[in-house]
Structure 1
Amino acid sequence: MFSLRGDVNAGPVVRLEAMSSQPDAAFPGVTPPPASATLMVRTTRIDDLPQDPGALLRLLPAEGALAWVRRGDGLAAWGEVARIETSGAARFADAERAWATMRSRAIVRDEIGLPGTGPVAFGSFAFDESSSAGGTLVVPRVVVGRRGPVAWITTLSTVDTVPMLGPVPTLDALRGDDPAVTSPGTVTYSPGAVEDDDWTAAVEEAVARIRAGRLDKVVMARDVVARTEHPIDARWLLTRLADEYESCWTFCVDGMVGATPELLVRSEKGLVTSRVLAGTIRRTGGEDADLARAAALAHSSKDLEEHEYAVTSVAEALRPFCQSLNVPETPFVLHLPNVLHLASDVTGVLCTATESGHTPSSLSLAEALHPTAAVCGTPTAAANDLIREIEGLDRARYAGPVGWLGGDGDGEWGIALRSGALDPDDPHRIRLFAGCGVVAASEPGAELAETEAKLEPMRHALG
Structure 2
Amino acid sequence: MSTSEPVPDPSAVAAHSAPDAPRAHAGSAATPALRVRTLRLEDEIDLPAHLPRDLTAAWLRHGQGMVGIGTAWTCTTSGPDRFEDASARFRELAAAARIDDEVGTRGSGLIAFGSFSYSASSPRPSTLLVPRAILGVLDNDPFLTLVDVLDEQEDAPDAAGAAPTDWRDLFPSTPRAERTRVQIDPDHTPDEYQELVRRALGMIEEGRAQKIVLSESSTVHLEQAQPVATLLSRLAESYPTTWVYHLSDVIGATPEMLADTEHGRLFSRVLAGSRPVAEGSELAEQDRRAFRSDAKELAEHAFAIDSVTSRLADLTTEITASAEPFVLRLPGLEHLASDVAGELREGVTSLDVAGRLHPSAAVSGTPREAADAAIAELEVRDRGGYASPVGWMDAEGDGQWAIALRMAHLETPTRVRVQSGGGLVAGSDPVLEHAEALAKSRPVLRAIGRPED
TM-score by length of 1: 0.87
Q: Which residue is 1:403 aligned to?
A: 391
* Separation of aligned partners in 2, 1:327 and 1:124: 26
Q: Which residue is 1:171 aligned to?
A: 167
* Separation of aligned partners in 1, 2:174 and 2:400: 30
SS at match of 1:158: strand
Q: Which residue is 2:442 aligned to?
A: 456
SS at match of 1:231: coil
Q: Which residue is 1:14 aligned to?
A: none
SS at match of 2:275: strand
What is the CA distance between 1:62 and its match in structure 2?
A: 1.4
2:240 is the counterpart of 1:252? no
Contact 1:84 1:136 in 2 (8 A): yes
* Separation of aligned partners in 2, 1:349 and 1:289: 36
Runs of 4+ in 1 over 4 A off after TM superposition: 17-20, 160-163, 285-289
What is the CA distance between 1:18 and its match in structure 2?
A: 5.1
What is the CA distance between 1:283 and its match in structure 2?
A: 1.4
> How many pairs does the alignment contain?
423
What is the CA distance between 1:326 and its match in structure 2?
A: 1.2
Determine which of 316, 337, 343 is the counterpart of 2:331.
337
Map 1:309-388 to 2 at 5 A. 309-352=303-346, 359-388=347-376
2:424 is the counterpart of 1:445? no
2:76 is the counterpart of 1:76? no
Q: Which residue is 1:139 aligned to?
A: 130
Determine which of 138, 141, 163 is the counterpart of 1:150.
141
* Separation of aligned partners in 1, 2:175 and 2:280: 36
Contact 1:191 1:224 in 2 (8 A): yes
Contact 1:210 1:439 in 2 (8 A): yes
What is the CA distance between 1:202 and its match in structure 2?
A: 1.5
Q: Which residue is 1:113 aligned to?
A: 104
| Compared CA separation, residues 71 and 175, structure 1 to 2 (3 A) | closer
* Separation of aligned partners in 2, 1:124 and 1:290: 37
> What do residues 392-442 of structure 1 show as CA deviations (whole Å, max 9, x unaligned)?
22111000100001111100000000000101xx20011001010000111
What is the CA distance between 1:287 and its match in structure 2?
A: 5.5
Letter in 2 for 1:251: Y
Q: Which residue is 1:283 aligned to?
A: 277
2:1 is the counterpart of 1:3? no
| Identity of matched residues, % | 36
Contact 2:40 2:143 in 1 (8 A): yes
* Separation of aligned partners in 2, 1:288 and 1:69: 25
Q: Which residue is 1:30 aligned to?
A: 28
* Separation of aligned partners in 2, 1:247 and 1:337: 10
SS at match of 1:421: strand
Q: Which residue is 1:242 aligned to?
A: 236
Contact 1:189 1:226 in 2 (8 A): yes
SS at match of 2:313: helix
| Compared CA separation, residues 78 and 288, structure 1 to 2 (3 A) | closer
Contact 1:222 1:393 in 2 (8 A): no
Map 1:81-120 to 2 at 5 A. 81-120=72-111
Contact 1:66 1:78 in 2 (8 A): yes
* Separation of aligned partners in 1, 2:287 and 2:410: 34
What is the CA distance between 1:182 and its match in structure 2?
A: 2.1
Contact 1:275 1:343 in 2 (8 A): yes
SS at match of 2:260: strand
> What do residues 29-83 of structure 1 show as CA deviations (whole Å, max 9, x unaligned)?
82114xxx41010111101133xxxx22322221343111110121111111111
| Compared CA separation, residues 95 and 215, structure 1 to 2 (3 A) | same
Contact 2:270 2:362 in 1 (8 A): yes
Letter in 2 for 1:243: E
Contact 2:6 2:24 in 1 (8 A): no
Root-mean-square deviation (CA), in Å? 2.1
What is the CA distance between 1:286 and its match in structure 2?
A: 7.2
| Compared CA separation, residues 110 and 392, structure 1 to 2 (3 A) | same
| Compared CA separation, residues 79 and 332, structure 1 to 2 (3 A) | same
* Separation of aligned partners in 2, 1:427 and 1:262: 28
What is the CA distance between 1:107 and its match in structure 2?
A: 0.3
Per mean C-alpha deviation after superposition, the further-off stretch among 41-50 and 262-271 is 41-50
Contact 1:217 1:379 in 2 (8 A): yes
Q: Which residue is 2:409 aligned to?
A: 421
| Compared CA separation, residues 229 and 362, structure 1 to 2 (3 A) | same
Q: Which residue is 2:41 aligned to?
A: 46
TM-score by length of 2: 0.89
What is the CA distance between 1:316 and its match in structure 2?
A: 0.8
Unpaired runs of 5+ residues, structure 1, are 6-16, 21-28, 353-358
Q: Which residue is 1:224 aligned to?
A: 218
